[in-house]
Amino acid sequence: MKTALERFAERAVAEDLLDVAYTTTDSPFGPLLVATTPRGLVRVSLPAYDAGETLEELAAKISPRVLEAPARLDEVRRQLDLYFDGRLHDFDLPLDWQLSRGFRRRALRAIGRIPYGKTRSYTQIARSAGNERAVRAAGTACGANPIPIVVPCHRVLRTGGALGGYGGGLPMKEALLEMEGALARDRSQT
């Protein structure tokens, strides 16, 4: 038997009144809030972030028509589960880039092309985004990444191989890199 909320969500979808669908999904690091628009995945909020603030941000920057609709994110959750199980190396999801603009968007697209198990430096990302002197801006793009894990900013390191920062915390960044086999490989090459 469907709950009133489930019926409401179905009706909102049927009447094209839902601009942002969201749900939470488990990860080895805690719950992730994931959100999608008709264009694609727009937000992955890491466990270190407040879900209420993320929903307020989505309502302010995209549309106030935000509703929990887990079924709309089944494929996102499935691919994240496979990734965390080590069985998925490349996400195949449509992405909605509207929360990023200009250089940040170009940097994030460059980050999205980093292969599983590999890393790049902030300098390499800046160069790929069209301005090799914009190293700090590349770091800012990583820090403002609205779609972490899927757009793998955890694969971006400081020149010389130091971890740098990560919105989910350095233990999470290190664990993701170890899971992908990137950390041991990169450190053995330095």
Helix H or strand E segment including 44: strand 40-45
Neighbouring residues of 122: CB distance < 8 A, sequence distance ≥ 6:
135, 136, 138, 139, 142, 156, 157, 158, 159, 164
CA-based radius of gyration for the chain: 17
Residue 26 CA to residue 5 CA, distance in Å, equals 21
Neighbouring residues of 104: CB distance < 8 A, sequence distance ≥ 6:
137, 140, 141, 144
Structure-block tokens of residue 2: 């469907």
Question: CA 81: distance to chain centroid?
Answer: 14
Residues that are catalytic: 153
Closest listed residue to residue 38, CA positions, set 58, 54, 14, 20 = 20
